[in-house]
Amino acid sequence: MMCRALYFAVVAAVIGLGFSQSDQVSLMIEPADRKLLVLAGEQQKLVCKATFPNKGDQVVWQLAHQQDGNITLKIPDAELVDGQYTKTLDLTFVKFSAAYAGKYSCTYIPFGASSPTHTSTIDLVSVSAQRSDVAYNYGNETVTLHCTANLEDAKFSKWLKNNETIEKGDKYDLDDKPFDCVVNYPAGPLVLDMDKSINAVEDDTVNIDCDVKGWPTPEVEWWVNDEKKLENSSVVSFEEYKGVKGARLVLTGVTFDYDGMYECRAYSAKFNETSKKSIKLRVKDKLAWLWPFLGIIVEVVVLILLILFFEKIKKKNGSDNPHPHEQ
């Protein structure tokens, strides 16, 4: 019995080496915009994706408008994935209008708490569009399309056909598929959620991407441990990511000195606002994988030796008293 109990204790210790519960919380709203222009009369869907540590935690939408028949909420049960609970909450406007404009927040409330500790917010703005057919006479080589926005500070961006950007000199056949006009509307900077951490091995090249929203396009800076601004060097360089200059940080040939907290900061001069998110970089020894394996081997060897030791004691006790019931 003692051997069996010892066996289970050691096996539990071995299994426990590979598991630890993370307490990270992540909230992300899609579309990933701080302010979203929604066309009146169209259907609009907002999705809140949440990751949290405890099943009893709550994730809820806070609505700018009282729920009615035009607003549907889909709230599934939490699912356990890789030691973390995940939940995706859908908020759908069947037919959007100016009455539903406002700020909508997805909030996280830990079990037993009375108020949220994490919040992600999106501001919905109602806009209207007037589409008119363009007269085209057969035989003409060209036709002129007009795009006018009645929004303050709005700026024409590009034309789309079949969701592809129309470039100067392109030619298209006129069919029943519409041409779409894209307009940029000023919005403050927003850095989307990043992974909590990233692991690297000595001498690796590490790419850290910062997904930045906002218009005019924000300026991006990278800081380490909240005290040092990163500059170009033989190890540090910056690349464009999703159209934003410097939004990708490249670390070439990392060493233990580069272990730390890296922060992406996006600044907008127009709004005088800064948005930032951080990610932890852990640089590991090239042989880091070997130490847990050796630890398991040592524990297994100790287990075997203990089993043999107690079996030997058991046999010895049996040989010393071959007839325990005889007096």
Output the tens digit of pLDDT for each of the chain's 327 residues. Answer: 433 333 333 333 333 333 333 347 888 899 888 888 888 888 999 999 999 999 899 999 999 888 888 999 998 899 998 888 999 999 999 999 989 999 999 999 999 998 999 999 999 988 877 766 667 677 777 778 878 776 777 788 888 888 888 888 887 777 767 788 888 878 889 898 888 899 998 889 999 999 998 888 999 999 999 889 999 999 999 999 999 999 999 999 999 899 999 999 999 999 899 999 999 999 987 776 667 778 888 889 899 988 888 887 877 776 666 555 554
Preceding peptide of 218 cis, ω within 30°: no
State the first-to-last Cα distance of the chain, in angstroms, to the nearest integer. Answer: 27
Please report how many Cα atoms fall inside a 13 Å half-sphere around the Cα of residue 166, on the Cβ side.
Answer: 17
- Residue 191's Cβ-count burial label (10 Å; 0-12, 13-18, 19+) is buried
Boundaries of every domain in the chain: 2-15+289-320, 20-128, 155-184, 187-288
What gap in Å lies between CA 30 and CA 35, rounded to an integer? Answer: 12
The one-letter amino acid at 184: N
d(CA 63, CA 58): 16
**pLDDT score recorded for residue 172:** 76
User: Hey, do 20-128 and 187-288 end up sharing a CATH topology, with the first three levels equal?
Assistant: yes
pLDDT at 21: 37
Q: What is the pLDDT of residue 251?
A: 95
Is the sign of the CA dihedral 251, 253, 256, 257 positive or negative? negative
pLDDT of residue 324: 53
CATH class of the domain comprising 187-288: mainly beta
- Of 61, 55, 62, the closest CA to residue 77 belongs to 55
Would you state the pLDDT for residue 43?
93
List the CATH code of the domain at 20-128.
2.60.40.10
Query: What are the residues whose beta carbons fall under 8 Å from the beta carbon of 40, sequence distance 6 or more?
Result: 96, 97, 98, 126, 127, 128
The pLDDT, as a whole number, for residue 10 is 32
Give the three-state DSSP class for 199.
strand
pLDDT given at position 272: 93
- Which among 277, 280, 248 has a CA at the least distance from the CA of 261? 280
* SS3 of residue 306 by DSSP: helix
pLDDT (tens digit per residue) in 246-270: 999 999 999 989 999 999 999 999 9
pLDDT for residue 246:
96
